[in-house]
Structure 1
Amino acid sequence: MPLYRPKSTIEQWRILQAVVDFGGYAQAGDALNKSQSSLNHAVSKLQHTLGVQLLEVKGRKAYLTKEGEVMLRRSRLLTQNVEELEQLADNMTSGWEPEITIACETIHPIEKLYSALEEFYPQARGTRVRIADEVLTGTKERILEHSADLVIIGGDVPKGYSAETLETVSFIAYCGKSHSLAERTEVDIEELTQELQIVISDSSKKPEESGGWLKAEQRWTVSNFFQAIEILKRGTGFCWIPTHLAKHEVEQGNITPIQLTSTREKSVLTHLVTPTPNQLGPGATLLKNLFLKQYQE
């Protein structure tokens, strides 16, 4: 099959876009630092080559035809893809990474990370960002395997790695409003061993049952806290949930804290770890600094 040879050039489409965006040949010429006649020639040649009229001039202003509107929209995708491709090549030669991976413990409040990403985006140079949810020792595994650029971990940081302290996450044992535990004003924590506990599965390939309160003999394991909350709302089981994740459902009256006589609240301190600080690229470094800035404001 013969190799397709394009009839048009990227520069011709870029000129067409400029003529439309700036409202005419003269204005586009000033913006591109080209003569009006050269732009006119480029667009005329493009129309002749394609056999489609893209622009029509009324007075001193050029207007898109209906066919031109369709072609212009598609051409913007074309020129954008070329710009991104060239930017990617530039990023590679300058050391700016094409993708950044963030492993985030699901208990950590995510709003500050989103704010950092919002600030990062205009400076991202087309770099892709991948956010991976991890549970319990899943983040520890990410650190030890160096499989993420930045890791937000809850609890103990593996030995040999430095970390930035982020914030304390509080946990409370919750049940549904229709659960028998919801009616009681005092519940001994040991009584929970006889109840069905909803637990979040450890995302590590080699999970360790060392985190959280796991004394109940009856357990249902789910992938995330949102699934756990949906089960609680049906009056089934109890679950230790970060207070910030349960807040809305508590306010809506769907779930309620269990009134334990002791150890009503547990807490976990979260940290930001850079598994390979000496290899951290400029993009990840920028994102890291923007994220940490959220805790200084």
Structure 2
Amino acid sequence: MPYRPKSTLEQWRILQAVVDAGGYTQAAELLNKSQSSLNHAVAKLQTQLGVELLEVLGRKAQLTAAGEVMLRRSRILTQQIEDLELLADNLDKGWEPEIRIATELAYPKHFLYKALKQFYPLSRGSRVQIIDTVLTGTSEIITQKKADLVITGMVPKGYLSEPLYVTRFIPVVGANHALATLTSLEQSELGQQLQIVIRDTAVKPQEHAGWLKAEQRWTVNNFEQAVDILKLGLGFCWLPDFVVNPLLENRVLQQLPLQQSSERLVPMSLLAPQEEALGPGSRQLRQLLLAIHDK
């Protein structure tokens, strides 16, 4: 006899919501359902499986050991269903109406613009949305699948990517900063200086990348704002080569003469968070972008 499932996807989605929200009351508000219906769904799921998944301690529902294992597997299942439905929707629509590209600020956009110029005659009217991201904000875009293509300096575990470019980050100050006259500088000396940093675009940023040891920091939204502050003779900043090179040549900025780690190399890669659901337009644009870097 053919196998007949004991549980439904809806039951697993409800269980996930109860755990993620921290309880039945919160999950009911999130799903716009009654608390009793969620209680019934989870209770029925446990009965059908013959396994206790949740235990209520006080007002909070917590997973049992068996529940933790089952929940992890259920997330894979529900994600696969979402991916399958997205693929079906993509196949039904054919060429996608909008293509979303998320790109690290540390990637030189003139490469992307060149690819987009080649793509335009082939685009069939597709709208293109370019999303600027920084650090863990880029990782969030990938894991939450909020873009079709992502150019990133940090590839999360479990994703395949194609190399594009290596960005050199250089420590610089304004030409009129006191450090600009030095011929040698230890990293420890930077700890007492004002550091200009670029804001992480993540909802929950994690400061695990870059040199962030200065006691005093000012945070800005982009490289242009950082340069404007540096020109005033305030602070130092690690900036990408394609931003600072012309400013160094014109002596607007000065590279700090660090004795160790005088630059940081960040490999930029291209990936598709949902490869199985990637539309034909996104695939075409990806190939054009890769071809530009192959030249």
- The verdict on a shared fold, with TM-score over 0.5 as the criterion, is yes
1:49 aligns to what? Answer: none
Matches within 5 A, 1:225-244: 225-244=223-242
Q: Identity over aligned residues, as a percent?
A: 49
Name the SS of the counterpart of 1:161 in structure 2: coil
Separation in structure 2 between the aligned mates of residue 93 and residue 146 of structure 1, nearest angstrom: 20
1:293 aligns to what? Answer: 291
Structure 1 residue 242, shift from structure 2 partner: 0.6
Aligned with residue 168 of structure 2, among 170, 173, 177: 170
Separation in structure 1 between the aligned mates of residue 188 and residue 164 of structure 2, nearest angstrom: 32
Separation in structure 2 between the aligned mates of residue 296 and residue 179 of structure 1, nearest angstrom: 40
2:40 aligns to what? Answer: none
Name the SS of the counterpart of 1:264 in structure 2: coil
Matches within 5 A, 1:256-271: 256-271=254-269
- 1:92·1:98 contact (CA, 8 Å) conserved in 2? no
Which is higher, the Rg of structure 1 or of structure 2?
1
1:196 to 2:194 alignment = yes
Deviations, residues 182-208 of structure 1 (Å, cap 9, x unaligned): 001011111000000000010000100
Separation in structure 2 between the aligned mates of residue 234 and residue 254 of structure 1, nearest angstrom: 10
2:152 aligns to what? Answer: 153
Structure 1 residue 273, shift from structure 2 partner: 1.0
Structure 1 residue 94, shift from structure 2 partner: 4.7
Matches within 5 A, 1:63-78: none
1:54 aligns to what? Answer: none
Separation in structure 1 between the aligned mates of residue 139 and residue 130 of structure 2, nearest angstrom: 16
Separation in structure 1 between the aligned mates of residue 200 and residue 279 of structure 2, nearest angstrom: 29
1:108 aligns to what? Answer: 107
Deviations, residues 199-251 of structure 1 (Å, cap 9, x unaligned): 00100001000011000010000001110011001100000001111112112
Separation in structure 2 between the aligned mates of residue 249 and residue 92 of structure 1, nearest angstrom: 48
Instruction: Specify the code of the residue in structure 1 equivalent to 2:150.
Output: V
Structure 1 residue 165, shift from structure 2 partner: 1.1
Separation in structure 2 between the aligned mates of residue 296 and residue 195 of structure 1, nearest angstrom: 41
1:246 aligns to what? Answer: 244
Separation in structure 1 between the aligned mates of residue 253 and residue 194 of structure 2, nearest angstrom: 16
Instruction: Specify the code of the residue in structure 1 equivalent to 2:257.
Output: Q
Separation in structure 2 between the aligned mates of residue 283 and residue 264 of structure 1, nearest angstrom: 41
2:85 aligns to what? Answer: none
Separation in structure 2 between the aligned mates of residue 250 and residue 204 of structure 1, nearest angstrom: 31
Separation in structure 1 between the aligned mates of residue 197 and residue 114 of structure 2, nearest angstrom: 29
Deviations, residues 124-164 of structure 1 (Å, cap 9, x unaligned): 11100000100011111011000000000013x11111111
Separation in structure 2 between the aligned mates of residue 109 and residue 271 of structure 1, nearest angstrom: 12
Name the SS of the counterpart of 2:294 in structure 1: coil
Structure 1 residue 92, shift from structure 2 partner: 8.9
Structure 2: tracts of 5 or more residues without a match: 1-89
Matches within 5 A, 1:1-297: 94-155=93-154, 157-297=155-295
Separation in structure 1 between the aligned mates of residue 258 and residue 184 of structure 2, nearest angstrom: 6
Separation in structure 1 between the aligned mates of residue 164 and residue 283 of structure 2, nearest angstrom: 17
Separation in structure 1 between the aligned mates of residue 108 and residue 171 of structure 2, nearest angstrom: 18
- Output the TM-score relative to the length of structure 1: 0.68
How many residue pairs match? The answer is 206
Q: CA RMSD in A?
A: 1.3
Name the SS of the counterpart of 2:170 in structure 1: strand
- 1:171·1:240 contact (CA, 8 Å) conserved in 2? yes
Structure 1 residue 93, shift from structure 2 partner: 5.5
- Output the TM-score relative to the length of structure 2: 0.68
Name the SS of the counterpart of 1:115 in structure 2: helix
Instruction: Specify the code of the residue in structure 1 equivalent to 2:170.
Output: I
Instruction: Specify the code of the residue in structure 1 equivalent to 2:288.
Output: L
Instruction: Specify the code of the residue in structure 2 equivalent to 1:183.
Output: T
Separation in structure 2 between the aligned mates of residue 245 and residue 192 of structure 1, nearest angstrom: 21
Structure 1: tracts of 5 or more residues without a match: 1-90
Structure 1 residue 254, shift from structure 2 partner: 0.9
Separation in structure 2 between the aligned mates of residue 242 and residue 280 of structure 1, nearest angstrom: 30
